[in-house]
């Protein structure tokens, strides 16, 4: 009967679709046998729950709620109410046999059967007319079989006396002896059986009405949750489609900007390479001339006498001076660094898609900045200076009703504020953030309360089709208008702080920009020194063979 009971039940929706009988176990799908009640008010057979308890706790197979079990059986207590219903149902379904003539009656003939409460036996209609009409059975209580009573519910188990009273304090029936044995203050809580029955029926009706209201609310909640699940599914699909669409457009924009940047890099590369090659060709043609004149000068000094030196020496010196004074481009006219500002370009092409706030660059003066750093030894601004990207601020004329300004989400802003306040620096902006958070939380709570009220009214109007008092709507509208005034006032107060904070921010931006320019200039000066040293090393290596050859010639001519 309990085969496969350890497999988990299906979802609640599957259980709702199934035709569940109230007297049939949800695990074994058989009539209850010793039904047990869990703390979550779900019932199962004792055999179906046996072996499921662990460490004194038993988890409901339907909802998973844990129940505390006591005793060595590892089972919750038996549900007496459900057991009574099961027994009553079983009694009504079995065939009944007359105690006098042994005649069996089918289910269709049960209405014609009687029951003698005195004898405790069922009787068919003929036997009731023939046997129980005698004088000896005149005091017997004969009722219809469907209205029979049981001794266990009719007489006291302790005194074997019929029940006549009911204790509202102990919720138990009393016989005359039980009533006599009670204390005086407890007797005040005793009423007769009929009154107790009527009061119990009224309380049961109230409890049933409360359960019905809960049932209605539960069904509405289920419908609402199903609708929200569908909305979540649709929202997820829309969000995925939006993400894919935005990602596709970002890829297209980035791909186009990538092509543009690569073309710009190639163009810079060709221009710089062409300029360097021209300068290199000029220097390469200059170097042999210099070498020839150096050799000529050395040979002239070695071979000419005083008269020849005075005759031709000044001509040689004049030629050498004119060669030195010629405009020779010994230093590179530009750096070898190719800078396309690709990060800023990529960010700029994504701003329209991501609806980012406009950004501005803080560029310092190109004049003198410090010792040894002037506008002449710095690279052009477009090539070496870094750009400080900072969030732009809308003009002072913007109001709350102006165009949409995209800012950080509330949760992101809240976390950033927490981090700022956790740093412990007492600045005017930190104090402003601390005051802002308290005011914002209060306004947010008020708005949430109004949203809940409007949602409740909307549900009553659409679901229950109930009338809504005009005073409630007027009150909500009045509160909403008051909240609008408070929010506008708070917004104006925050807006007034803009000028104060902008001064501080501008000083910070300028300081950071200057530090960036000084840093870039330092790197540029070091790079320039390195390039000069590299050129000096190259020239030294090229001159070395000629120096050695001149030295050998001088050694040969020295004896002369």
pLDDT interval class at 258 (50, 70, 90) = very high
Please count the structural domains in the chain.
Answer: 2
**429 lies in a domain?**
no
**193 lies in a domain?**
no
**80 lies in a domain?**
yes
* pLDDT tens-place string over residues 59-103: 888 888 888 887 767 788 888 777 877 777 655 555 677 877 877
Query: What was the pLDDT predicted at 66?
Result: 87
- Structural domain that includes position 41: 19-91
Query: What was the pLDDT predicted at 236?
Result: 92
CB neighbour class for 178 (10 Å; exposed up to 12, middle 13-18, buried from 19): buried
pLDDT at residue 359 tops 60? no
Mean pLDDT, range 420-443, rounded to an integer: 80
Cα–Cα distance, 163 to 193 (Å, whole number): 8
CATH number of the domain encompassing residue 35: 3.30.40.10
Query: What was the pLDDT predicted at 109?
Result: 65
* pLDDT tens-place string over residues 364-423: 333 333 333 333 333 333 333 333 333 344 444 444 444 444 444 565 566 677 767 777
Nearest of 258, 180, 211, 198 to residue 41 by alpha carbon:
211
Nearest of 471, 509, 482 to residue 388 by alpha carbon:
509
- Among 351, 374, 405, where does a domain finish? 351
**364 lies in a domain?**
no
Query: What was the pLDDT predicted at 25?
Result: 87
Average pLDDT, the chain: 76
Query: What was the pLDDT predicted at 248?
Result: 92
- Among 329, 351, 373, where does a domain finish? 351
Cα–Cα distance, 249 to 119 (Å, whole number): 92
- Among 298, 323, 351, where does a domain finish? 351
Cα–Cα distance, 3 to 5 (Å, whole number): 6
Let me know: does 298 contact 554? Beta carbons within 8 Å.
yes
Phi-psi region of 403 (alpha: psi -120 to 50; beta: other; left: phi over 0): beta
Lowest mean pLDDT among 153-167, 415-429, 510-524: 415-429
**Residues in a beta bridge with 78:** 36
Nearest of 81, 29, 72, 20 to residue 50 by alpha carbon:
72
Using DSSP, state whether 40 is helix, strand or coil. coil
Cα–Cα distance, 185 to 4 (Å, whole number): 54
* pLDDT tens-place string over residues 170-213: 888 888 888 888 887 888 888 888 888 888 888 888 888 888 88
**343 lies in a domain?**
yes
């Amino acid at each position: 009967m309990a085969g496969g009971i350890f497999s988990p039940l299906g979802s609640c929706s599957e259980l709702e679709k199934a035709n569940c009988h109230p007297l049939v176990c949800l695990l074994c799908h058989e009539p209850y046998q010793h039904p047990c009640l869990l703390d979550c008010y779900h019932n199962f057979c004792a055999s179906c729950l046996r072996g499921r308890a662990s460490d004194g706790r038993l988890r409901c197979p339907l909802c998973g709620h844990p129940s505390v079990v006591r005793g060595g059986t590892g089972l919750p207590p038996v549900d007496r109410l459900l057991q009574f219903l099961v027994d009553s149902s079983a009694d009504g379904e079995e065939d009944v046999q007359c105690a006098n003539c042994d005649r069996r009656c089918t289910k269709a003939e049960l209405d014609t059967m009687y029951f003698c409460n005195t004898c405790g036996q069922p009787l068919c209609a003929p036997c009731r007319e023939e046997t129980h009409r005698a004088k000896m059975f005149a005091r017997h209580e004969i009722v219809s079989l469907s209205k029979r009573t049981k001794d266990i519910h009719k007489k006291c188990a302790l005194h074997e006396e019929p029940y006549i009273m009911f204790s509202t304090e102990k919720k138990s029936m009393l016989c005359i002896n039980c009533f006599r044995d009670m204390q005086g203050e407890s007797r005040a809580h005793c009423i007769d059986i009929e009154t107790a029955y009527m009061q119990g029926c009224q309380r049961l009706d109230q409890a049933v009405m409360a359960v019905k209201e809960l049932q209605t609310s539960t069904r509405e909640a289920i419908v609402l949750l199903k609708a929200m699940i569908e909305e979540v599914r649709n929202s997820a699909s829309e969000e995925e489609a939006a993400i894919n669409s935005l990602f596709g457009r970002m890829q297209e924009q980035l791909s186009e900007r990538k092509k543009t940047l690569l073309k710009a890099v190639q163009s810079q590369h060709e221009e710089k390479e062409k300029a360097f090659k021209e300068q290199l060709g000029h220097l390469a043609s200059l170097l042999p001339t210099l070498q020839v004149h150096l050799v000529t000068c050395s040979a002239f000094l070695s071979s000419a006498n005083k008269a020849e030196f005075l005759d031709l020496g000044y001509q040689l010196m004049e030629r050498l001076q004119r060669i030195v004074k010629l405009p020779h481009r010994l230093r590179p006219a530009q750096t070898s660094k190719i800078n396309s500002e690709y990060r800023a370009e990529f960010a700029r092409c994504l701003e329209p898609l991501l609806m980012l706030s406009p950004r501005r660059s803080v560029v310092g003066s190109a004049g003198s900045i410090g010792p040894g750093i002037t506008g002449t030894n710095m690279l052009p601004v477009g090539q070496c200076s870094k750009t400080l990207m900072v969030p732009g601020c809308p003009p002072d004329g913007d109001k709350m009703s102006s165009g949409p300004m995209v800012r950080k989400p509330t949760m992101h802003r809240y976390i950033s504020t927490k981090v700022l306040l956790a740093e412990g620096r007492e600045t005017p902006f930190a104090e402003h953030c601390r005051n802002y958070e308290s005011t914002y939380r209060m306004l947010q709570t008020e708005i949430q309360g109004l949203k809940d009220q409007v949602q409740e009214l909307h549900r009553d109007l659409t679901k229950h089709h109930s009338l809504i008092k005009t005073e409630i709507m007027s009150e909500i509208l009045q509160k909403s208008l008051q909240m609008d005034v408070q929010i506008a006032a708070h917004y104006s107060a925050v807006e007034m702080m803009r000028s104060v904070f902008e001064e501080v921010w501008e000083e910070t931006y300028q300081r950071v920009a200057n530090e960036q320019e000084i840093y870039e200039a330092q790197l540029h000066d070091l790079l320039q020194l390195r390039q000069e040293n590299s050129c000096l090393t190259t020239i030294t290596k090229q001159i070395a063979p000629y120096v050695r050859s001149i030295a050998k010639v001088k050694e040969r001519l020295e004896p002369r």
